[in-house]
Chains A and B, each alone.
Chain A
Amino acid sequence: MMERGFLAKSVEQLKPSGIRRFFDLASKMENVISLGVGEPDFVTPWNVIEASYHSLEQGYTAYTANAGLLELRQQISKYLNVNYKMDYNPENQVIVTVGASQAIDITLRAILNPGEEVIVVEPCFVSYAPAVTLAGGVPVTVSAEADNEFKIRPEQIQEVITDKTKAIILCSPNNPTGTVLLKEDLEEIAAVIKENNLLLLSDEIYAELSYDDNFVSPASLEGMSERTIVISGFSKAFAMTGWRLGYACGPEDIIAAMTKIHQYTIMCAPTMAQHGALEALQNGEDSVREMKTSYRQRRNFVVKALNDMGLSCHLPGGAFYVFPSIQATGLSSEQFAESLLQEEKVAVVPGNVFGESGEGYIRCSYATSLKQLDESMKRISRFVHKFS
């Protein structure tokens, strides 16, 4: 009998993430200092953990409403309003998801017809393009360039728009570049989006971690809230990656469609995590501020150290990543990251895994203790000097 392939072509053809390969390499070695971690080095604030314990003790172990606890949605709505001047009705414009990751997935599945295009601005988080593909869409990538501090230029977006373009995904503060789009940048991009009647997926998971300028959401700009899905969550600012809790806010009809998918595939986000998140929004401000200060201080330290050793990088305004150029060494991103790991036992992520325009760069996460950062900078410096 002929062998039967059981796998879906769409999945079979999906490239495994370059991150995975590095993970495999690094985890086989000992005494590695990792600057490759895309999550906070803080443990979740104790009051949040305690609130979640308490909810379990009280017997809150059942499902919640599909869209999440109403009380949590109300807090999310208030939080976005107070901090970022957004205006969402908790009854029908907010959905609580299993991380921002699931929010991205169900947004794309809710909006895409087969073959419709989504513009993905690279370098970016590795999941966007695969999520578009899995939702039946076609990812169209555009490259933000280093000479513009990795900010996309509106003309570049305009150039790739076709009659099949449905949406665009933006992320600020950005993973992997740390770049923050300011109000003026967003206004120019918003003009193109409105003119072409596109939907914007705005990944704001690092919103709180904007160090030099107040974070501005494109959803708060004139005429944008009706065409923006805000994707966010608790993973980064509240140090809650393992809790798997995020949310999306947007126009009522799209949130309703997303809730439909969510209802059939997930039912609801974990209840105990939702109770923790409620505490995070109500009483987490001081912890977030403290963590933010600590990231900013470490950012300053790392950026200076990298520039001093000849790996030039701009001062990233947010998130917890720096994205220095390694072109002075003459190595490719992958060669650099691999040799650095072998020779100095420091793990970084090669920039090309985040998109073509990341070639020639590496992503270093500074969400690691100052002591480790200091040691890793010494090791990277020693490594780099072999090439000068």
Chain B
Amino acid sequence: MEQKELELLKLLERNGRLETEKIAQMIELSTEEVVAMIEKLEAEHAIIGYSTLVNWSNVLEYEGVTAMIDVKVTPVRGVGFDKIASRIYRFPEVKAVYLMSGAYDLSISVEGKTMMEISRFVSDKLSTLDTVISTTTHFVLKKYKHDGIIFDDDDDTDKRIMVSP
């Protein structure tokens, strides 16, 4: 991939709302070229969406819990883990699914309003799937950092003196 495409992707990954004009100036392209580049990357599914990172624990009315669940499954001849993964990731409460090396096979992240809701998902939906052998559920107590961004980094003030040589 071209160097400028990589730069563009990294800029957008860090700030999906960065204006096209600004990106253009920063990577020395015209605005039109940047627009075209973004369209191309979208078409190639290198860019698959734009989202906002919300720290829900700072949203007063919001109640919610997240759990990380380790899942052991029996792989199926011909499709390996992909089939069972797709059965799992289609549930809307499932936010992430990864195939893992090591002690278990799939790592999934689930969000719900209450712990009850998540336990119900695990007992009713997840562990009843044919190939699922076992599940281990870990509830998240606090998010410190997500996708490279530190939550509650309250002291990000500029500590430099105002004018220096």
Residues of chain A touching chain B, judged by Cβ–Cβ distance below 8 Å, are 17, 19, 22-23, 26-27, 32, 34, 36-39, 41, 125-127, 175, 293, 297-298, 300-301, 304-305, 347, 349, 370, 374
Instruction: Using A297-B7, A297-B11 as known contacts, say yes or no to A127 and B165 having CB atoms under 8 A apart.
Output: yes
B22 lies within 8 A of chain A by Cβ:
yes
Q: Which residue of A lies closest to B159 (CB)?
A: A43
Q: How far is the CB of A300 from chain B (nearest CB, A)?
A: 5
The CA of A351 and the CA of B38, in the complex, are separated in Å by: 40
**A–B Cβ pairs within 8 angstroms, 26 of them:** A19-B163, A19-B164, A19-B165, A23-B161, A23-B164, A26-B163, A32-B162, A34-B163, A36-B163, A36-B164, A37-B160, A37-B163, A38-B164, A38-B165, A39-B160, A39-B164, A41-B158, A41-B160, A125-B165, A293-B10, A297-B11, A297-B27, A300-B25, A305-B25, A349-B163, A370-B18
B162 pairs with A26, CB closer than 8 A: yes
CB distance A37 to B164 under 8 Å? yes
Tell whether, in the assembled complex, residue B163 and residue A298 are in contact, meaning their CB atoms are under 8 Å apart.
no
Chain B, residues 4-25, CB within 8 Å of chain A (1/0): the string is 0001001100000010001001
The smallest C-beta distance from B145 to any residue of chain A, in angstroms, reads: 12
Most chain-A Cβ atoms within 10 A of its Cβ — which of B22, B26, B160, B163?
A: B163
Q: Which of A32, A37, A305, A374 has most B Cβ within 10 Å?
A: A37
B33 near A: Cβ within 8 Å?
no
Residue on B nearest A34 in the bound complex, by CB: B162
CA distance in complex: A27, B10 (Å): 35
CB nearest to B11 among chain A residues: A297
Q: Which of A22, A293, A370, A374 contacts B163 (CB 8 A)?
A: A22
Chain B residue numbers with a CB within 8 Å of A349 are: 163
Contact, CB under 8 Å: B22 / A301: yes
Tell me whether A347 and B163 are in contact in the complex, defined as CB-CB below 8 angstroms, given that A293-B7, A297-B26, A300-B27 are known contacts: yes
A41 to B160, CA, bound (A): 8
Contacts A41-B158, A293-B7 hold; do A301 and B26 have CB atoms under 8 A apart? yes
Q: Which residues of B contact A298 (CB under 8 A)?
A: 26
Please, which residues of chain B bring their CB within 8 A of the CB of A126?
Answer: 165
CB of B162 within 8 A of CB of A347, answer yes
- Sort chain B's interface into a size bin: 10 to 19
Contact A301 B158 (CB under 8 A): no
User: Could you tell me the distance between the alpha carbons of A301 and B20 in the complex, rounded to whole angstroms?
Assistant: 12
- Taking the closest CB of chain A, its distance from the CB of B144, in whole angstroms, is 14
* Closest residue of A by beta carbon distance from B26: A297
Shortest Cβ gap from B22 to chain A (Å): 6
The list of the 9 closest CB pairs from A to B, nearest first, reads A36-B163, A297-B26, A23-B163, A38-B164, A26-B162, A301-B25, A304-B25, A22-B163, A34-B162
CB-CB under 8 A from A38, the residues of chain B are 164-165
How far is it, in angstroms, between the C-alpha of A42 and the C-alpha of B163 when the chains are bound? 16
How far is A126 from B165 in the complex, measured between Cα atoms in Å?
Answer: 7
> Which residues 119-143 in B have Cβ within 8 Å of A in the complex?
none
Interface centre among B10, B11, B161, B162 (most CB of A within 10 A): B162
List which B1-55 residues lie within 8 A (CB) of chain A. Answer: 7, 10-11, 18, 22, 25-28
B30 to chain A, nearest CB (A): 11
In the bound complex, residues from chain B placing their C-beta under 8 Å from that of A175 are: 165
- Chain A proximity of B25: nearest CB distance (Å): 5
1/0 per position for B48-68, CB-CB distance to A under 8 A?
000000000000000000000
Complex CA distance for A36 and B11, rounded to whole angstroms: 25
The docked-state distance in angstroms from the alpha carbon of A32 to that of B27 is: 28
* B27 proximity list for chain A (CB < 8 A): 297, 300
Binary per-residue interface labels of chain B (90-120) against chain A in the complex, 1 for a CB within 8 Å, 0 otherwise:
0000000000000000000000000000000
